[in-house]
Amino acid sequence: MIKINENYLRLQASYLFSEIAKRVSAFQEANPERDIIKLGIGDVTRPLPPACVEAFKKAVVEMGEDRSFRGYGPEQGYPFLREKIAANDYHSRNMDISPDEIFISDGAKCDTGNIQEIFATDIRVAMPDPVYPVYLDTNVMAGRTGEFQGGRYEGIVYLESTKENGFIPDIPREPVDLIYLCFPNNPTGATIGGSMLKDWVDYARENKAVILYDAAYEAFIGEEDIPRSIYEIEGARDIAIEFRSFSKTAGFTGTRCAFTVVPKSCKAYTSKGEPYSLHALWHRRHTTKFNGVSYPVQRAAEAVYSEEGKEQTKSLVDYYLENAALIRERMLEIGYECAGGENSPYIWVDGKRDSWAFFDLLLERAGVVCTPGTGFGKCGEGFVRISAFNDYDNVERAMRRIKEALEGSQ
């Protein structure tokens, strides 16, 4: 009799964004005349930057010709892309990251989900609450948690992000081994300053822990003194793995390209206490389980770093930031406290009621989809996340309708 992986049975019924999509399509079916504006899942709506489209097309043509056709590429990514990333994202800001410490992949979701595989199952894992559900669910699947009780899994150290701490969790009092951090944060939109990030780096160094730093939204940081990468902090190379993505920066949610940085000096330990290179382990995993991102997609990603590409991606990011500012301003105007939306595409709104009730109210009365905060964890209860990823006209219309709906419900 074949047995299943029963860790999966501990998972909550469905993945948050699938559950929302299901509810929205049921509502749409029951109300076919209603116009729905989606500010739920952070999915971009603006087309790819022209520089990326040009590079993409050119690479497709190359693939159709005898002399330039390519088969399997390197699993870790083509050197042309890894070199551009190292130079533009790291060396230009004085961070010492080499191209061979960069692993190209088809998404930060997959990488942040898969990375836990290279660590033991009996480690202590700490993660924020609220949190991007992928970090938590993949640890549940791997058997690092006990039962789900009272909104939380046994065995996880939850790092509470609340209004009181400005949505930046405190350093845990107990020693932990693996720490997930995400800044600018999904879902709260909070950012972390250099000195607080240094406290985390120091903690990890003292405790021989590793920080998994999700920087998928770094392009939305406008303020100069907010770190864009954990490697801006001295000593981080030895204890941190960083995840980045072209999805939100350059509109690649449907095109798929991201990367993970695993510095060669970053170590974890064998059961005998001997240090072992995480770069070597991730390299082994990546080359075994992944065959690389397609050549045209990597050429399109490379174009993000051309002069035109830089200008075009900046204007894309600025476009969504304008939406974020509008959402934030309107919610504040009608008396709802917000975090995020300033160096982030997400606005975390205190809904002053149950998260799903607020979600239903916005859907039913305003025809607007948001994400209920409770889907990101217990500390998300009472909040909703509004995403700035949509066209400006839609965001304006959505905010008019939200204003009417909320003012009518008070």
Positions touching ligand MLT (CB under 6 A) are 41-43, 109, 132, 186
**C-beta closer to ligand MLT: residue 132 or 320:** 132
By beta-carbon proximity to ligand MLT, the closer residue of 109 and 244 is: 109
The number of beta carbons lying within 10 Å of the beta carbon of residue 169 is: 25
- Shortest distance in whole angstroms from residue 192 CB to ligand MLT: 18
Gyration radius of the chain over CA positions? 21
> Among residues 43 and 83, whose Cβ is nearest to ligand MLT?
43
Report the alpha-carbon distance of residue 222 to residue 227 in Å, rounded: 10
Minimum gap (Å) between residue 74 Cβ and ligand MLT = 25
The residue with its CB nearest to ligand MLT is: 42
Shortest gap between Cβ of 200 and ligand MLT (angstroms)? 22
In one-letter notation, the amino acid at residue 107 is G
Distance CA 359, CA 141 (A): 28
Q: State the nearest-atom distance from the C-beta of 16 to ligand MLT, in Å.
A: 8
Q: How many Å apart are CA 160 and CA 120, to the nearest integer?
A: 24
Complex with ligand MLT: residue 119 or 376, whichever CB lies closer = 376
Q: Where are the alpha helices (DSSP H) in 175-268?
A: 194-207, 247-250
Nearer to ligand MLT, 361 or 388 (CB): 388
Shortest Å, Cβ 44 to ligand MLT: 9
The alpha carbon of residue 379 and the mean position of all alpha carbons in its chain are separated, in whole angstroms, by 18
**Other CB atoms closer than 10 Å to residue 281's CB: what's the count?**
16
Q: Are 369 and 37 in contact (CB under 8 A)?
A: yes
Distance CA(214)–CA(347), nearest Å, equals 18
Please answer whether residues 304 and 249 qualify as being in contact, where contact means their C-beta atoms are separated by less than 8 angstroms: yes
Peptide bond into 130 cis (omega under 30): yes
Query: In this complex, which beta carbon is closest to ligand MLT, that of residue 176 or of residue 395?
Result: 395
- In this complex, which beta carbon is closest to ligand MLT, that of residue 47 or of residue 408? 47
Pick between residue 126 and residue 131 the one whose CB is nearest to ligand MLT.
Answer: 131
Residue 385 CB, nearest approach to ligand MLT (Å): 8
CB of 224 to ligand MLT, least distance (A): 26
What minimum distance in Å lies between the beta carbon of 132 and ligand MLT? 6
Enter the tokens of residue 207.
Answer: 């405790």
State how far the Cα of 382 lies from the Cα of 372, in Å rounded to an integer.
Answer: 8
* Least distance CB 241 / ligand MLT (angstroms): 18
Nearer to ligand MLT, 203 or 356 (CB): 356
Surface-to-core class of residue 409, CB atoms within 10 Å of its CB (0-12 exposed, 13-18 middle, 19+ buried):
exposed
| E strand or H helix at 347 | strand 346-350
Rounded distance, CA 187 to CA 129, Å? 10
